[in-house]
Amino acid sequence: MLAQEIIRTKRNGGTLSTAQIQSFVKGLTDESWSEGQVAALGMAVFLKGMNRDEAVALTLAMRDSGRVMHWPDMPGPVVDKHSTGGVGDKISLMLAPMVAACGGYVPMIAGRGLGHTGGTVDKLEAIPGYQTRPDAALFDATVRRLGCAIIGQTADLAPADKRFYATRDVTATVESVPLITASILSKKLAAGLQGLAMDVKYGSGAFCDSLGMARELAESIVAVGNGAGMKTRALITDMNEVLGLSAGNAVEVLEAVNYLRGLNVEPRQHEITLALCSQMLLLGGLARTEAEARTKLQAALDSGAAAERFGQMVAALGGPTDLMEHPEKHLQLAPVKKPVPCPRAGVLAAQDTRAIGIAVIELGGGRRLASDAINHRVGFSAVRPLARLIDEFEPLAYVHAMDEASADRAIAAYQAACVIHERPEPATPLIAEVIG
């Protein structure tokens, strides 16, 4: 099929056939479509949209552009979770071993940081020796033996998506709901999942800054995921403040380890973690009700079973064998630690969460360019939640930096991102909606 005719069809608002979409994805994979043609179709879809059948066809074609994992004879359901990203979002680190301890199997293909949002793979690389790109045999064996393994995307999983996304990123067509949907789900379907719990975040620290945008994306992902044969449910969750007590890489892994050990459990983060894990157990048939799922998950935490799974996973993928017993020995933090003073007494009423994510990048904990190396040691810890009464000069958080100058810049940025009022603002719901 001629590329220009496929582009013309979508440019004119027409519906692409499955054959046309498969021809496009083949062109992505074998590079018979030029960058200009890929960009043109991306812009046409951005402007004219896609219906559900088109989005399903694009998702399946990109899934089939590379290796598709299969999990025959697995004694439990193969399920996963995906988040649209936020600041301080370390839930995957706790969620995978919790679900594994309840009988699920979680082959999690995670991503790196994107823009101001942190990435699970970057966090895991703060653990000395951890292999985020093991060979297929080790990944398969770890999932089967322990019930979970978290790794980065490999080159042979949905390679068409990788090329299409790179073009979209430089042609201002990233913010297209059907293309975001296909990008996320093609990789999840390539992982051989039976069920997916989607965490679509909205607010000042999220990709979706409004509830309406988050709802549109969640509904699209649920419809296309189910249309492609994978049980899919989405939670729309709040990202108007840092999630949990930390933002960075090593600091977030340390918080996740402590959470699994029952130490410093932050209530908001705990609630969202339980909610997403519960959906995974329900999708996999491991619980009949949400109450039953939560009981099982809490038991996995209280018994130490979830913590044990995480420690075993880290060791199996090349990390230290005693991370759970001695996390501070392995998760090195930056040498300069300074408090972020509250400028005046009052209530922490609001937060520009995106600005805090940018402050982590400025410290060196994220990338300005794709080729940048990350400093895993920097970030913020002991983050104060919203609606908390704070005395003057009481810390809003602590910064971990490589030198005094960068620490002072981060302190100023964090203070500027916080709004102190006489009384709290009306709270946004932690879980706004459940879709599907």
Helices 177-190 and 211-227 pack at an angle, to 10 degrees, of 40
The two structure tokens encoding residue 66: 């590379």
The two structure tokens encoding residue 17: 């056939």
Question: Taking the chain, what is the end-to-end CA distance rounded to the nearest angstrom?
Answer: 37
Q: Which of 10, 82, 330, 354 is catalytic?
A: 82
Q: What is the C-alpha to C-alpha distance for residues 360 and 367, in angstroms, rounded to an integer? A: 10
CA-nearest of 230, 310, 309 to 60 is 230
3-state class (DSSP) for residue 114? strand
Q: What is the C-alpha to C-alpha distance for residues 199 and 121, in angstroms, rounded to an integer? A: 17
Does the annotation mark 84 as catalytic?
no
Does the annotation mark 201 as catalytic?
no
Which residues on adjacent β-strands are paired with residue 338?
Answer: 399
Alpha helix ranges (H) inside 64-176: 91-101, 120-124, 136-146, 159-169
Angle at CA of residue 77, ends 76 and 83, nearest 5°: 135
Q: Which of 63, 116, 163, 188 is catalytic?
A: 188
The two structure tokens encoding residue 377: 């040691």
Which residues on adjacent β-strands are paired with residue 315?
Answer: none
**Cβ atoms within 10 Å, residue 395:** 18
Does the annotation mark 82 as catalytic?
yes
The two structure tokens encoding residue 220: 């699209």
Q: Which of 187, 261, 309, 376 is catalytic?
A: 187
Q: Are 228 and 54 in contact (CB under 8 A)?
A: no
Does the annotation mark 63 as catalytic?
no
Q: What is the C-alpha to C-alpha distance for residues 316 and 138, in angstroms, rounded to an integer? A: 8
Q: Which of 10, 168, 231, 296 is catalytic?
A: 168
Q: Are 104 and 94 in contact (CB under 8 A)?
A: no
Q: What is the C-alpha to C-alpha distance for residues 95 and 165, in angstroms, rounded to an integer? A: 27
Does the annotation mark 273 as catalytic?
no
Q: What is the C-alpha to C-alpha distance for residues 65 and 23, in angstroms, rounded to an integer? A: 11
CA-nearest of 259, 218, 255 to 235 is 218
Does the annotation mark 117 as catalytic?
no
Q: Which of 83, 232, 237, 246 is catalytic?
A: 83
Q: Which of 23, 29, 120, 167 is catalytic?
A: 120
Q: Which of 29, 63, 80, 186 is catalytic?
A: 80
Backbone φ and ψ for 234, nearest 5 degrees, come out as: -125, 140
Which residues on adjacent β-strands are paired with residue 107?
Answer: 149
3-state class (DSSP) for residue 107? strand
Q: Which of 10, 81, 163, 330 is catalytic?
A: 81
Q: Which of 183, 220, 246, 353 is catalytic?
A: 183
Does the annotation mark 83 as catalytic?
yes
Catalytic residues: 80-83, 120, 168, 183, 187-188
